[in-house]
Structure 1
Amino acid sequence: MLVNDSDFDSLVPGLPLSRRTFVGASLATGFALAVRPAQGQSVIQTSAAGLAAGDISIKAPDGVPVRAYWVQPSGKGPFPTVLVISEIFGLHEYIRDTCRRLARQGYQAIAPNLFQRQGDPASVGSVAEILSTIVSRVPDGQVMTDLDACASWAVANGGDSARLAITGFCWGGRITWLYAAHNPKLRAAVAWYGRLTGVPTDATPKHPSDLVSQMHAPVLGLYGAKDQGIPVSDVEDMRQDMTRVGKRAELVIYPEAGHAFHADYRPSYRAEDAIDGWARMLAWFRENGV
C-alpha cells in the first residue's frame, strides 16, 4: 500500500555549504533530520512469504559478530547480492522491508547493523544524541571491513561473487560512495541522498568528493533539490569531478524532493520520486551486470 506523498522541509534550518567546506555545527543538517522516527515502520509492507529470510551474524575481521538481516529468493542461487546500508536510525523495519523488496526482484539482500559496537539508535531519545554518541564514533574503516565481511559471507551463502552491488540511504548513501571507492569487485552502487563533502575527522578522514579518482564501480546518485543538508551545487560538482577523471556516474536531482524522499515512514516521503528512483536503481544494477 502507498500513501500520498508529501513534501516536508527539515526541522533543522538550512545552512549554505560550499564545495569543499562543511560547517561542523551543521552535522545534523547533513542528515536532514525531518523527524525522529519511532519504529521505522514502513508504510509499504512486503511479505517474506516464499523468500528465505532471517537475522544472521557475520564475523568481522576484528572478531566481532556483526548482526544483519538477510533475505533472498527461495532456492540455491547463486543470486546477485545487494548490500543495503541504513540511515542513522539503524536496522529497523523500513530497511528490512527494502531488503524484501529487492529479494522480490531476484536479489540476495544483506543489511548489516553497522552501529552495534557504538550503540543502538533505537534506544536513544533524540537525533542529536544519535549523532553525537553513536554515528560520530563509527569509523569509516570499520564500516568498510564490516561490509567486506558481508560480501564474503554472501558468496558462501547463495550469493554470486561476480554480481555484487550496494545501496544506502542518507548516512548509508555516503557509505555507498565510500564503498564504491573501496571494493574493486563491486559492480554497481546506488546512493540515495548521501552527503558528498565534509571536514575530516579521525572517524571520517575522507568523504566522497575526496575519493573521485578512486571509484571502482559506477555510481547512481539520487538527490533532492530541496535537501537542506546537501546543496545542489555539491551534487553538480561531484558530477563534474566524476566526468573529469573518467569515472562513470549518473546523478539525478528531483526538483521538488527534500531529503529522505524514499523513506516511506517519514513525512519527507515523496511517492512519485521514490518510485522513479527505485526503477532507476534496478535498471542501474542490471545495466551493470548485477
Structure 2
Amino acid sequence: MGRMISLTAADTHHFAAYEAGNPDSKHAVVIVQEIFGLADHIKSVCDELASHHGYHVIAPALFDRAERDVVLPYDQAGMQKGLALRAKIQPEDLLADVTACAHALNKHGHEKVGIQGFCWGGFVAWIAATRTREFAASVAWYGGGIAQVSHEKPHCPVQLHFGGEDDHIPHTDVQKIRADQPDVEIYVYDDAGHGFGCPDRPSFNQAARDLAHERTMAFFKSHL
C-alpha cells in the first residue's frame, strides 16, 4: 500500500523512508522502527494507520546511518546485529532523521505531527519529545532506555506503554519513569512481554496490542 521514498536530513544525510497514506489526510505521524530495521511489521503499522485511520505516515530507515537496506530477523542474531548498528548512530543523528520526516509532513500542510516508536524507536520517540519541538504528541511502546533519560522534560504530551513481563525493561525502570514524570500517561500490560505489539515476534499479545493501539489512537486524536 505504501511506497519507499528518499529524504534528506539537515546534515545532508540521505536516507530511505516508507510513506503511506494521502498527503491530504487530516492527521500525520512519524513511525519509528524497532532494533530490527524498517521491517514488514513497521510498514504494516504505517499501512494500518493510513487505511484504517486516515493518517499520512512516514517511517525512516534509521539504520541507513550505519548500513543501508538492513532488515534483521527476529532472533538473537538479528538483535545482536541490530545492537551493533545502533551503537554506531548518535542520538542527534536519530533526531535529525525523524525531524526530516516531520518536516516532510509539514510541507504537505500538516501543522501538527505525532511520533510513535517501538522498542528502540520508543526511546527515539521519547527523546524526540524532550530534545526537539517538532512533535505535537509522542507515543512509545516498550521503549528501552527511557529510564536513563526520564528526567528530561517533554515539550509535548507523551504516552508510554510497557509489558509487565518484559525481560528487557525491568519494573524498576517503569517506576523511575513514573516518579520522574507524574504527568505522563503510562500503561503496563501485566501479561505482555517485550515486543507484544509485533505479530512476527513470539511475544506477540493480541489483547495487549489491541488495547495499546486503542489508547494510542485516542491519544493522537486528542492532540493532533
The answer, yes or no, to whether TM exceeds 0.5 is yes
Could you tell me how far apart the structure 2 residues matched to 1:130 and 1:190 are? 22
Map of 1:140-289 to 2, 5 A cutoff?
Answer: 140-156=91-107, 158-161=108-111, 163-197=112-146, 207-211=148-152, 214-243=153-182, 248-288=183-223
CA RMSD of aligned residues (A): 1.8
Residue 128 (structure 1) aligned to one of 65, 80, 88: 80
Residues 126 and 89 of structure 1: CA distance in aligned 2, closer, same or farther (over 3 Å): closer
Query: Are the counterparts in 1 of residues 36 and 72 from structure 2 also a CA contact under 8 Å?
Result: no
Structure 2 gaps of 5+ residues are none
Q: Deviations over 1:259-280 (max 9, x none)?
A: 0000111110000000000000
User: How many angstroms does 1:115 deviate by?
Assistant: 0.9
TM-score by length of 1: 0.71
How many residues in Structure 1 have an aligned counterpart in Structure 2? 219
Q: Bigger shift: 189-198 or 62-71?
A: 189-198
- CA–CA distance in 2 between the matches of 1:123 and 1:242? 33
Q: Give the letter for the 1:102 counterpart.
A: L
- TM-score between the two structures when normalised by the length of structure 2: 0.91
Letter in 1 for 2:127: L
1:80, 1:159 within 8 Å by CA — same for their partners in 2?
no
Amino acid at match of 1:271: Q
Separation in structure 2 between the aligned mates of residue 229 and residue 159 of structure 1, nearest angstrom: 39
Q: In percent, how many aligned pairs have the same letter? A: 32
Which structure carries more helix by proportion?
2
2:190 partner letter: P
Distance 1:224 1:237 in 2: 15
- Whether the aligned pair in 1 keeps the contact of 2:30 and 2:116 (CA below 8 Å) is yes
Of 93, 97, 103, the match for 2:44: 97
Shift of 1:136: 0.9
Matched-pair contact (CA < 8 Å) for 1:58–1:65:
yes
Q: Which amino acid aligns with 1:82?
A: V
User: 1: distance between equivalents of 2:221 and 2:146?
Assistant: 29
1:197, CA displacement in angstroms?
A: 4.9
Structure 1 unaligned regions, length at least 5: 1-47, 199-206
Task: For residue 159 of structure 1, report the CA deviation from its aligned partner.
Answer: 4.5
Q: Which letter maps to 1:261?
A: F
* 1:114 corresponds to which of 62, 84, 91: 62
Specify the structure having the higher radius of gyration (Cα): 1
Pairwise CA distance, 1:208? 3.0
The aligned runs of 1:8-27 (5 Å cut-off) are: none
Q: Which runs of 4+ in 1 moved over 6 A?
A: none
Deviation at 1:141? 0.3
Write the distance in 2 (CA, Å) between the matches of 1:179 and 1:123.
Answer: 24
Q: 2: CA distance between counterparts of 1:109 and 1:100? A: 8
User: For 1:137, what is the secondary structure of its paired residue?
Assistant: coil
Report the Cα offset of residue 126 of structure 1.
Answer: 3.9
Q: Distance in 2 between matches of 1:197 and 1:155?
A: 27
